Structure 1
Amino acid sequence: MSVLYPRLLPGETERRFRMLHEISVGHHKSMVASYSARAVYAATGGQRVTREELDGLRSAILNTAQEHGYPDAARPAQRNSFDKAAAKILHQQSAMVPGEAAQRQVWAFLALVLLPDVCVWRWPADSEGRYTADRFKGTDLTRHALARLWTRAYVLHEPQAADPYSLLSILGEADLDQIMARRSALAGSPGLIRAIVRSHRDDLTEAQRATSPREVLRETLMRLLRLTAFLDLDVPSDVELDRLVRRVRSEARASLAR
């Protein structure tokens, strides 16, 4: 049975986002709760998450944040490492299904009620003291502090692999964003995304070539985008996708080397 999460009502989302700016840095823990009277659940479709389960999810992610420097300002390497560890926790421990994960107000609750202190640490205010709304409200789930991590873990999860989450460590933030930002054409097919990341991982000879892995990846993505205009890439098996992506990547590398 799927697990249903609280959905923070829009008015409360706006109120709590304003609160982020009213509370001084280092004191956002005062906003933390595992319940809000201004949150609702889907009427059907699963079992409601318990407060104990929410507390457990918070504890796991908070512990991971502390291992990566929280509450002190994190370095880029610490932030990236935290993202990978937190993605695994969110996917494993939340037991969330894609339909629930597609609900923006679920992520608003998690960022603004359950984990505001961690999200503020991961995505601090800019030089003018303003927080980016997309990171907290869930207006764009590809940019949300937590939703983007769950999505990555869900898409890159390989249940049969020795380490089911090993693909999370292959690409850096910028390169993975290049893929996930193309959600309508590429990121909507988890099998294709896994094939792209596997081909990047396995292209060991690239270290000996003049063309950078990032350039090859981006050229590969552009070529795959053109293919989606007349191929349904949800149909092929994983083996067929691997074969296709490796061929396209080889062509992309050859083109860039000219």
Structure 2
Amino acid sequence: MAIALLPRLKPIGVDTALGRFHETGVNTRSTLNILSDYSDVLSFAPSGGYKTGKAAVDIGHGLKQVAQSAGFPRIGSQSAKAKFDQEAAIYLAQAPELFSGEALRNDVWAFIATVIIPDLVMWRFPGENRSRFAGGNRNTFQRLWMRGKGLDRGCDHADRWGLVKALPEDAMVQIFERPSIASSQRLATAVAECWVSASIAAEKGTMEDIMRRAMKILRIRSEIIDFAYLDTEQLEKAITTIFKDAMSVRSAS
């Protein structure tokens, strides 16, 4: 099957668009004009598939449909935006246009956020924040794709997207803004599964503190244990122990 090569926006293109937004407001027409004026800020992979802007447009259309169910374009509550994050993560994880290595490109996500749906970026994160437009683990949509792919339990699981829906924002950030965890689906899933188990046993309102303690312990132990080489049972046991230790520190304090 031929691979769809999505448009890529260079960092200078993001900066130029953000500068233009001050004059025109945040809208797709403004960024399309920038691409017309400065064609060198846009690129595609030189080979390996067929170049298409339509695939990026289709992804943007799908994300807007998800956002509309959460109240977009009206000013949304935090709970509405959290709902969007969950449903968008699930949508992006299953989007066929993102099954290739194109989804691993920061500049592809920069194009989607800055050119295709900048208004949706501003709805989700009001106020100009470059990191939400530029590619990387804080990009408005790239971060959600990472969550959906990283916490997918598999199509045969009875509650395939349970982890995506269960973890709050702070727990997601603790996992997916740490490359040492986010780069391994097995490790990310193990941490998320143990978070769910710990949240059942923990006192209400303590999980944010417990999660942060657990991540500190994990970072320390990763200096002597390569979690990537543990089998599934060993990994589950190791992460469970880390959460128990984090909870015991909380209890002792």
* TM-score of the alignment, normalized to the shorter chain, above 0.5: yes
The one-letter code sitting in structure 2 at the alignment partner of 1:194 is: T
Contact 1:206 1:213 in 2 (8 A): no
Contact 1:31 1:116 in 2 (8 A): no
| Superposition deviation, residue 248 in structure 1 | 1.8
Distance (whole Å) between structure 2 residues aligned to residue 103 and residue 173 of structure 1: 23
* Structure 1 alignment gaps of length 5 or more: 126-130
1:230 lines up with 2:227 in the alignment: no
Change beyond 3 A, Cα 1:61–1:253: same
Residue-by-residue CA offset, 1:47-70 (whole Å, 9 max, x unaligned):
44451x333322211111111111
Contact 1:32 1:115 in 2 (8 A): no
In the alignment, what sits opposite 2:72?
A: 70
Q: CA RMSD in A?
A: 2.5
**1:32-43 equivalences in 2 (<5 Å):** 38=39, 39-43=42-46
The one-letter code sitting in structure 1 at the alignment partner of 2:177 is: A
Name the SS of the counterpart of 2:229 in structure 1: coil
Question: Residue 81 of structure 1: which of 80, 83, 94 is its match?
Answer: 83
Distance (whole Å) between structure 2 residues aligned to residue 106 and residue 247 of structure 1: 39
Contact 1:216 1:252 in 2 (8 A): yes
Distance (whole Å) between structure 2 residues aligned to residue 63 and residue 105 of structure 1: 23
Distance (whole Å) between structure 1 residues aligned to residue 50 and residue 160 of structure 2: 26
Distance (whole Å) between structure 2 residues aligned to residue 255 and residue 180 of structure 1: 24
| Superposition deviation, residue 211 in structure 1 | 7.9
In the alignment, what sits opposite 2:177?
A: 181
Distance (whole Å) between structure 2 residues aligned to residue 210 and residue 58 of structure 1: 37
Contact 1:220 1:252 in 2 (8 A): yes
**1:98-247 equivalences in 2 (<5 Å):** 99-125=101-127, 131-138=128-135, 141-159=136-154, 160-183=156-179, 185-203=180-198, 205-207=200-202, 209=203, 212-247=206-241
Distance (whole Å) between structure 2 residues aligned to residue 11 and residue 252 of structure 1: 43
Residue-by-residue CA offset, 1:59-92 (whole Å, 9 max, x unaligned):
2111111111111111111111111111121221
Percent of residue pairs bearing the same amino acid type: 25
The one-letter code sitting in structure 1 at the alignment partner of 2:88 is: A
The one-letter code sitting in structure 1 at the alignment partner of 2:222 is: T
Distance (whole Å) between structure 1 residues aligned to residue 11 and residue 168 of structure 2: 33
Distance (whole Å) between structure 1 residues aligned to residue 200 and residue 114 of structure 2: 45
Distance (whole Å) between structure 2 residues aligned to residue 175 and residue 149 of structure 1: 13
Residue-by-residue CA offset, 1:181-200 (whole Å, 9 max, x unaligned):
222x3222221111111111
Instruction: Return the TM-score normalized by structure 1.
Output: 0.84
Contact 1:211 1:257 in 2 (8 A): no
In the alignment, what sits opposite 1:3?
A: 4
Name the SS of the counterpart of 1:162 in structure 2: coil
Name the SS of the counterpart of 1:19 in structure 2: helix
Distance (whole Å) between structure 2 residues aligned to residue 252 and residue 228 of structure 1: 15
Contact 2:6 2:52 in 1 (8 A): yes
Residue-by-residue CA offset, 1:173-214 (whole Å, 9 max, x unaligned):
12211222222x32222211111111111236524x488122
Change beyond 3 A, Cα 1:201–1:31: same
Higher helix share: 2
The one-letter code sitting in structure 2 at the alignment partner of 1:16 is: A
